[in-house]
Amino acid sequence: MSEVLSLAKSYEKYFKIGATVSAAHLDAHHDLILRHFSSLTAENEMKYALTEPKEGQFQFEKADAVVALAREMGVKMRAHAPVWHNQTGAWMYRDGEKPAAPELIYERIDAHSKALCERYRKDVYAWDVVNEAARDDAMDPLKSPGESPVYRNSEYYKLCGAGFIEAAFRSMDRYAPGVQLFYNDYSECVPEKRERIVRLIRNLQEKGCRIDGMGMQQHYFAAPDYDELKRSIETYAGLGLRIHVTELDISMTALMHPGAKRLRPGEAGFAEFIREAMRATPEKLDRISDIYVRLFEIYRSYADVIDCVTTWGVADDWTWLDTFGMDPNLPKIKQHPLLFDEQGQPKPCVYRIIDAAGR
Ligand code: GLA
């Protein structure tokens, strides 16, 4: 085991190591964050819903608290306040009694981008400009033949077509000239979805929009397909983009047999199924650790194009996976998807990942 226990320091020669924090949990792992991480993302505090709950009424207290931690760490932030179909006030899509015209939506995006960029000009090195705008077969299947096979049929898309993506990148380019601009998405290694993301990015590039990077979320609910991961990194890098891993975590369900039938909430037997699938045993925790070690091995092998690897959370005491996607009638099922345990202690894989970096 390594004596020098700092993930960020061990990985300086490869890429930054990032974590996502929320304003409510800033004190919980203060020393751990300072020691192990060299990039910071706000879990929710820089999103539209929190920074501009009503049009023109900006609230920055919570975002400021996260930014203050980044300053204390001496690092800059990945600003995750994207144009996204979630966590955005309904005001964005309305003009009084009418649906908002595209031009009005673009003006609103522009005003929002300006306000955030002015406030956090010195604190941000990368913006997630647009999040999850590509169609996803699992969460957003085609409902009618008239819908776009490439773009998610979000409120933004219904009102603006793909124009809102271009508008968001143009605004951010205007107000954040020296900062890297990212498109961010999940299931980014699934071939059909990857193809849509590629088309979305190419369309932006053909329109002359500046896009510098691809944010690969890397939430694992199924076993990683390591070959597709490599192919995806190469594909996105092949578009001339830098790569950030932006939201890495590994659910217990990633250990299920890849072909296993997944019951959904409401289906008979779901409660037993999900309890068993998500029950953390020492043997399963070891296998999650193995996945982390393998993923980092691959990330290191692409260090020429990867600039940052961020986990979605710091330690297992606070993770969105503890409540995500469960039937609300089920008891909370504790997940252990991160690199640090509930007490903030490094898991065995942290030592292995650090050791491997030295080789
Ligand atoms: C998505 C978003 C994140 C976050 C996670 C889950 O991946 O990009 O901002 O909301 O879901 O918490």
DSSP characters for 158-187? Answer: HHHTTHHHHHHHHHHHHH-TTSEEEEEESS
- Contact status, residue 315 vs residue 344, Cβ threshold 8 Å: yes
173 CB near ligand 1 (under 6 Å) = no
Whether 284 shows a pLDDT value over 50: the answer reads yes
183 CB near ligand 1 (under 6 Å) = no
Is 247 marked active-site? yes
Q: Which of 220, 221, 224, 216 is nearest to 302 (CA)?
A: 216
Could you report the per-residue pLDDT of 175-218, keeping only the tens digit for each?
999 999 999 999 999 999 999 999 999 999 999 999 999 999 99
Dist. CA 7 → ligand 1 center (Å): 23
CB neighbours (10 Å) of residue 24? 13
Question: Would you say the C-alpha torsion 29, 67, 216, 50 has a positive or negative sign?
Answer: positive
246 CB near ligand 1 (under 6 Å) = no
188 CB near ligand 1 (under 6 Å) = no
Quick one: pLDDT band at residue 4, thresholds 50, 70, 90?
Answer: low
For the chain, the average pLDDT equals 94
Dist. CA 86 → ligand 1 center (Å): 9
Nearest protein CA to atom 3 of ligand 1, as residue:
43
- Contact status, residue 80 vs residue 120, Cβ threshold 8 Å: no
- Contact status, residue 220 vs residue 250, Cβ threshold 8 Å: yes
Cα distance between residue 281 and residue 301, in whole Å: 31
Cα distance between residue 281 and residue 32, in whole Å: 25
Residue 307 carries which DSSP code? E
Could you report the per-residue pLDDT of 153-184, keeping only the tens digit for each?
999 999 999 999 999 999 999 999 999 999 99
Atom of ligand 1 nearest to the CA of 186: 7
Could you tell me which residue, 138 or 103, shows the higher pLDDT? 103
pLDDT of 187 reads: 96
Q: Cα 130 to the chain's mean position, in Å?
A: 11
Task: Tokens 């690092």: give the residue.
Answer: 75
292 CB near ligand 1 (under 6 Å) = no
Q: What is the mean pLDDT of residues 242-250?
A: 98
CB neighbours (10 Å) of residue 273? 17
* Positions of E strands within the chain: 16-21, 39-42, 77-79, 94-95, 98-99, 124-131, 180-185, 213-216, 219-220, 242-250, 306-311
Nearest protein CA to atom 8 of ligand 1, as residue:
131
Whether 3 shows a pLDDT value over 60: the answer reads no
pLDDT of 81 reads: 86
Dist. CA 3 → ligand 1 center (Å): 34
Is 132 marked active-site? yes
pLDDT of 334 reads: 86
Could you report the per-residue pLDDT of 83-100, keeping only the tens digit for each?
999 999 999 999 999 999
pLDDT of 329 reads: 75
Pocket test for ligand 1, best of 51, 66, 312, 335 (most atoms within 8 A of CB): 312
pLDDT of 276 reads: 86
131 CB near ligand 1 (under 6 Å) = yes
The one-letter amino acid at 214 = M
Q: Which of 61, 52, 114, 115 is nearest to 84 (CA)?
A: 52
Q: Cα 205 to the chain's mean position, in Å?
A: 22
Could you tell me which residue, 275 or 127, shows the higher pLDDT? 127
pLDDT of 2 reads: 45
The secondary element (H helix, E strand) that includes residue 104 is: helix 102-120
Could you report the per-residue pLDDT of 49-92, keeping only the tens digit for each?
999 999 999 999 999 999 999 999 999 999 998 899 999 999 99
Cα distance between residue 277 and residue 300, in whole Å: 30
Q: Which residues of 196-235 are buried (b: 16+ CB within 10 A; e: fewer)?
A: bbbebbeebeeeebbbbbbbbbbbbbbebeeeebeebbeb
- Contact status, residue 221 vs residue 251, Cβ threshold 8 Å: yes
CATH class of 7-357: alpha beta
Could you report the per-residue pLDDT of 105-147, keeping only the tens digit for each?
999 999 999 999 999 999 999 999 999 999 998 777 788 877 8
pLDDT of 322 reads: 87
Atom of ligand 1 nearest to the CA of 132: 8
pLDDT of 261 reads: 78
Whether 313 shows a pLDDT value over 80: the answer reads yes
Dist. CA 244 → ligand 1 center (Å): 15
pLDDT of 256 reads: 83
Report the greatest alpha carbon distance in the chain: 63
319 CB near ligand 1 (under 6 Å) = no
pLDDT of 194 reads: 98
